Amino acid sequence: MSDILLKVKNLQTWLGEGDRPVRAVDGVDLTIRKGETFALLGESGCGKSMTALSIMRLLPPAGRIKGGQVLLGKTSLLDLPEFAMREERGGRMAMIFQEPMTSLNPVMTIGQQIGEAVRIREGVDKESRDLRIIELLNSVGIPDPERRVGEYPHQLSGGMKQRVMIAMALAGRPELLIADEPTTALDVTIQAQVLNLLKTLQQQTGMAILLITHDLGVVAEVADRVAVMYAGQIIEVAESERFFRLPQHPYSQKLFQSLPDSNKRSQRLAVIQGSVPALNQIFTACRFMDRCHRAFGDCHTAPEWTALSDDEGVRCHLSEQPELLQSEVIQQESHQPIASGVGQAPLLDVEDLKVHFPIHKGVFKRTVGYVKAVDGVSLTIAPGKTLALVGESGCGKTTVGKGILQLVKPTEGRVTFETDELTTLSSRALRSRRSELQIIFQDPVASMNPRMLVSDIIEEGMKAQKIVRDSAQRRARVMELLEQVGLPADSASRYPHEFSGGQRQRICVARALAVDPKLIICDEPTSALDVSVQAQILNLLKSLQLSRGLAYLFITHNISVVAYLADEVAVMYLGRIVERGSVDLLLAEPKHPYTQALLSAVPVVESTSRRTVIRLEGDMPSPANPPTGCHFHPRCPIAMEQCRTAYPELRPLPDGRLVSCFKVEDGL
């Protein structure tokens, strides 16, 4: 067809030499039309990024394309010599990588890096090149581009860095843009800006987009067609609307059942047991068979591709039995309700917490100002309850958690845990209470010693707190904890690098539980996990809360996780809480303009529940130099003169929530 821009046929990419190479891409077929957004969906390790790198011919040294065909228009990319491929790469096709900070050169200015791409593609003189740089920065919505060209990557926010990457990709006026997880590390407000930008640029230029992601909400927002990838193969292709209405493959169906939301609060989320199989083997059976809840005898032979229409198909034996192919209703096991914490004395009571970091300048390191990371936060958590703390990156959420645990010394304020005021305890007294307050960090890899066995990692807290003195008893306790978090007993004698991301996070949960805590601070524990692995961790946290009466401070920017897990929500902006209330009330009817914008920007799978996105202009101001008056007024769509001169107090409303906004106080 004349409108097909990219055609990939039986693409095979192997990694490594020897008898058992990793077949990372194993017979992938896909077509992308001019001007469409084609989403490639799947969990980590399924081969999505390797497919994109194969198309771009940017494989790692151990990688090689073993077979197949890649046509960009009428050009066979796999037959081009490298010097010719360079003209296509960055010209007719370009790629945005997942992590902009590692893709940008930290010692070159933004203008130099974009200018390099312009010079290679257009070969114009310096004056024309400078004009083109400004034009590109304007096209991706970067304010004050004349000033930004002289700045370095570290001076830009995450969203700004991603926009610079898009500007560099656009320098060659591409027909195809490959975006590899372009919004994974971004907050929902910045994510909404980037997705809207890509849509706008697509309409203006007519380029096609290959979007690689594991976020079903993002796919629902922007994709025209969807391909689901599993273990190196495409297992389903469908029009986006049909895919979200009626997924065909059992794997696709399980992904939807794994999504958390408020309607599933009393249920355990569906999980996909096991993990993606090792790809250093030749498969003779269905690759998903060992994890499939609908496997039967025919699955012991590898299924062929079944075309359901010109644009849709599925790789599953159930496709030969249409009456069995449709999604089935699975009754999930219910969580037993926990006793209400209403009326109980708070387990944790934080009052007017402030954490200010001094700014030093000059030879004598004089203090010239303060970064007000946390600037007067108050909150309470009852036993057995979960308070979610949400907000954009840089608002101070993690610093609140560290301030509560006294991992950073608060500047002012009180932190009362049960009957103890933690800020006044001596180091020795505080150490004795550490077992009751634990933290699960965002990155499990960085929070574990790679040279320690899992058993030693879990035992470490017990030894430090002298909870279990006998080594045999400690080992028995480790085995008990591993079983409790769903890991096999032989995990104790393995190292962290031998586990998947979800398994490593389970080890961190086991380590936190080893000292019998009453409160756990969970700092973005599921942000880097796939949907199915996220469901496992959320089920685990909820069941542990019900069986042990644990309280959680859950720090996140994932609103669907908040809806499933939290009892209360506190919304934070630039070091202060701007709205706080019960999860049902706050998510259903947010009052503060920032909360409204935050929730409107969340991509949703159900088309019936989509909101009109409230676009926030610019980025969060620096906590070292916050705006006068209400900190949110420079970005607020309903700001008035009073907002520019005074900061509104956090006041109670008749429905029980607390809101910091003059217009809400006035009933507007």
pLDDT at 186 over 80: no
Rounded distance, CA 396 to CA 631, Å?
14
| Tokens, residue 575 | 């070091």
Residue 35 is given by DSSP the state T
The CA distance from 400 to 377, in Å, is: 8
Q: Look over the chain and give the mean of its residue pLDDT values, rounded to a whole number.
A: 88
Confidence of residue 321 (pLDDT cuts 50, 70, 90): low
Give the model's pLDDT for residue 663: 87
> φ and ψ at 221, to 5 degrees?
-75, -40
Asked if pLDDT for residue 329 goes beyond 50, the answer is no
Mind listing the pLDDT tens digit for each residue in 621-640?
A: 888 889 999 999 999 989 99
Residue 37 makes CB contacts below 8 A (sequence gap 6+) with: 198, 202, 208, 209, 211, 222, 223, 224, 225
Banded pLDDT at 196 (limits 50, 70, 90): confident
Q: Which helix (H) or strand (E) holds 208?
A: strand 208-213
Structure tokens at 540: 């685990």
Q: In CATH, what is the architecture of 348-665? A: 3-Layer(aba) Sandwich (3.40)
Angle between helix 158-170 and 110-122 (nearest 10): 10
Q: Give the Cα separation of 168 and 624 in Å (integer).
A: 30
Q: Tokens in use for 614?
A: 């409230």
Of the chain, the percentage scoring pLDDT greater than 70 comes to: 94
Structure confidence at residue 9 (pLDDT)? 96
CA distances for 82 relative to 34, 79, 404, 458, angstroms: 25, 9, 56, 50
Q: What's the pLDDT at 1?
A: 46
Strand partners, 366: 361
- Whether 173 contacts 205, CB under 8 Å: yes
Q: What is the pLDDT of residues 551-576, one digit of tens each?
A: 999 998 888 899 999 999 999 999 99
Of residues 452, 565, 439, the one with CA closest to residue 511: 439
Query: Helical H runs in 412-470?
Result: 427-433, 454-465
Higher local confidence (pLDDT), 160 or 114: 114
What is the spatial distance between Cα 73 and Cα 70, in angstroms, rounded to a whole number?
10
Query: Which residues, in sequence order, are bridge partners of residue 652?
Result: 658
Cα Rg of the chain, angstroms: 26
Domain 4-92+174-325 belongs to what topology?
Rossmann fold (3.40.50)
Determine the pLDDT at residue 540: 87
Residue pair 270/330 in contact (Cβ under 8 Å)? The answer is: yes
* pLDDT one-digit tens code per residue, 575-606: 999 999 999 999 999 999 999 999 988 888 87
Band of the pLDDT at 107, cuts 50, 70, 90?
A: very high
| Spatial separation of the C-alpha atoms in residues 565 and 517, rounded to whole Å | 19
Q: Could you tell me where in the chain the CATH 3.40.50.300 domains are found?
A: 4-92+174-325, 348-665
Mean pLDDT is lowest, of 233-242, 490-499, 599-608, for 599-608
Q: Which residue has the tokens 């009456």?
A: 323
